[in-house]
Amino acid sequence: MQDQIPAVRRALEVLRLLAARPGPLPASAIARELGLPRSSAYHLLSVLADQGFVIHLPEERRYALGVTAFEIGSAYLRTTPLERLGRPLLTRLVADIGFTAHLGVLHGRETLYVIETRPPRAEPLVTDVGVRLPAQLTASGRAMLAALPANQLRALFPTADTLVDRTGVGPRTLTALRRILTSERKTGYAEEDGEVTTGYASVAVAVLDHTGRPAAAVATTFRSTAVDSAGRADIARFVRKTAATFTRRLGGQPR
């Protein structure tokens, strides 16, 4: 039994490597990156393919994650969804800051809100559960976009596209959006004011998964006149702390 443990560990390393890369990999690259003899890499890939964890693409001579890996990932989402992990954290955040908090995920070019937690007697907001809004206008969306690789950002927002707005405020081109995202990466949080709803502002921080990619974003929304710039920086610290805890729960490393 003990002899099988290193093989299991190496097989898991193969799966993690494939999961972390944007596309399929040749066996030689897998062997090189994991420090494996090429024969061992081929043997591991053959066993994983037999069980459906990887799939061989013969025309490309590469390997990708298979349907069994997808099924396990789907089971994780069913049994431990972001909502179950995030709701206690958002409840604590609301208690700390006194404003409505949300959890959003990227859905194409939109932010999809999956949790909204409100303090007592809070005003209803547009960011209710199930609502989708243009990602480039929301603090949640921009926090996640800022954590994406440049090529993925370009794929979502081609250079020639004119970006939509809701209130006449917000980036209208990819160049303008990039400028905002660069600034928000430096501050460590994203912020919008009046871009979703006139008179309301939001602060958000991305939640990262084990690959360093944005899995969600924690955000809070408040009346623009209720919090000055110093107060927003204080709120951002609470939001960053919440997002960092969430990131660690997903196996990620906070930035």
The CATH number that applies at residue 46 is 1.10.10.10
| Boundary-marking domain end, from 24, 39, 74 | 74
Report whether pLDDT(246) > 70.
yes
Question: Does 103 score more than 90 pLDDT?
Answer: yes
Do 54 and 109 have their domain in common? no
Q: Nearest 5°: CA angle at 221, between 218 and 223?
A: 165
Residues 28 and 133 in one domain: no
Angstrom distance (rounded) from CA 25 to CA 30: 7
Task: Tell me which residue range forms the domain holding 57.
Answer: 4-74
- Rounded average pLDDT over 204-221: 94
User: 48 and 150: one domain?
Assistant: no
Model pLDDT, residue 18 = 92
- Residue 161 placed within a domain: yes
Give residue for tokens 């990819």: 174
Helix then strand count (H, E) for the chain reads: 9, 8
123 plus 240 within the same structural domain: yes
Task: Among 74, 96, 127, identify where a domain stops.
Answer: 74
Output the domain CATH number for residue 96. 3.30.450.40
pTM, to two decimals: 0.72
What three-state secondary structure class fits 79?
helix
Domain boundary among 52, 74, 96: 74
93 and 40 in one domain? Answer: no
Instruction: Flag whether 149 is in a domain.
Output: yes
Same domain, 111 and 28: no
Residue 86 and residue 115 in contact, taking contact as beta carbons nearer than 8 Å: yes
Nearest 5°: phi and psi at 106? -80, 130
For residue 111, is pLDDT > 60? yes
In this structure, is residue 254 part of a structural domain?
no
Q: What is the pLDDT of residue 232?
A: 94
Closest listed residue to residue 211, CA positions, set 152, 147, 157, 153: 147
Residues 197, 117 within the same domain:
yes
Q: How confident is the model at residue 2 (pLDDT cuts 50, 70, 90)?
A: very low
| pLDDT for position 77 | 57
Instruction: Please check whether residue 235 lies inside any domain of the structure.
Output: yes
Residues 145 and 238 in one domain: yes
Q: Grade residue 99 by pLDDT with cuts at 50, 70 and 90.
A: very high
**What secondary structure letter does DSSP report for 170?**
S
pLDDT of res. 80: 59
The number of distinct structural domains making up the chain is 2
| CA torsion, ordered 106, 143, 132, 161, to nearest 10 deg | -80
Please check whether residue 255 lies inside any domain of the structure.
no
pLDDT (0 to 100) of residue 202: 97
